[in-house]
Amino acid sequence: MRSVGFIVHPGYSPMTLAISTVFEIANIQVGEPVYDVRMLSEAGGPVRTSIGFEVMTQPLSGETLDLLVVGGSMEDATPEVVSFVRRAPKFARRIAAPCIGALVLAEAGLLDGRRATTHWLYARDMAARYPRIRVEEDRIFIADGPIWTSAGMSAGIDLALALIEEDLGIEAARSAARKMVVYHRRSGGQSQFSTLLELEPKSDRMQAVLTYARRNLTNRLSVEELAEVAHLSPRQFSRAFQSETGQSPAKAIEHLRLEAARALMEDTHHPIDVVAQQTGFADRSRMRRAFVRAYGQPPQVLRRAAQSATAELIDT
């Protein structure tokens, strides 16, 4: 049986508790208790979550664990908890931190010299405070050796499914995902961001324009074409679009193209010329310039990084 310990401290986000359900479902699927899951805290006893209800916990101890999960809290972890996490590699085979739990690992020094991610709202702060960490702020989750980190909220479920896949195989992870009615699973290299969510158009009219654009990236997608979809004159459309999204139509379309191109670069083996054509960049040089502007790196580098991350996950 694999022992899994969840460190819970005051202000702990209940969303992180959803990760434990993945291990519960895995036990049900296998038909026996493969995972022994327990909640831990500094002193044991009831711990109040960020929403107000309490979780019963056992006190921290140095017992052997297959996995230690350090969840996120809006309150700073105590020095005692940080010290415990710092010692964790001596008794825990793997250590995982969804969301801002990564900040506890960072404070404990466990992420020094490693790749890591966290909720995008806190990623740049983590990079500034802990310069020895290679923070990748737009990743869903990252496995660097025995240390696993994920983005915020539901990304912890992706991380847990990846751990299930490592332990029990891909079919067990797929089965758990189906039971939970979630994807199996977003790849760790997938971006935290969505251009459509980031733009947040205020009207159904502009939402329809963006949906049309994303489905027709091989088109030129001129202002005239988009204005026709919105049933507005080009001048009216440009003003309305800028007002609702905070971006010009041209900039928004480039972001949609970049999002689609990056997904193809990281998740397929399509030649760069093909990716450029399929996403409306027309040629590889134009796509390269857009990637460098947006990501600071050409598409080939991002593809290699994604392939390397996948290889590390398989070899872990």
Question: What is the per-residue burial (b if ≥16 Cβ within 10 Å, else e) of 53-63?
Answer: eebebeebeee
Do residues 70 and 105 touch, judged by C-beta distance below 8 A?
yes
Identify the three-state secondary structure at position 191.
strand
The set of long-range contacts for 74-82, using a CB threshold of 8 Å and a minimum separation of 24, is 74/11, 74/13, 74/50, 75/9, 75/10, 75/11, 77/9, 77/104, 77/107, 78/9, 78/42, 80/42, 81/7, 81/9, 81/42, 82/107, 82/108
CA distances from 26 to 137, 148, 154, 170 (A): 29, 19, 18, 12
Instruction: Report CA 226 to chain centroid distance, whole Å.
Output: 32
The secondary structure of residue 96, as a DSSP letter, is E
**Tokens (6 digits) for 245:** 């999204």
Identify the three-state secondary structure at position 133.
coil
Does 3 participate in catalysis according to the annotation?
no
Residue length, the chain? Answer: 316
The closest alpha carbon to 22, from 117, 141, 108, belongs to 141
Question: What is the per-residue burial (b if ≥16 Cβ within 10 Å, else e) of 216-250?
Answer: ebeeebebebbbebbebebeebbebbeebbebebe
Q: Which of 19, 70, 88, 99 is catalytic?
A: 99
CA atoms within a 13 Å half-sphere pointing along the CA-CB vector of 306: 24
Q: How far apart are CA 72 and CA 15, in angstroms?
A: 9
The closest alpha carbon to 131, from 147, 113, 151, belongs to 113
Q: Which residues are catalytic?
A: 99
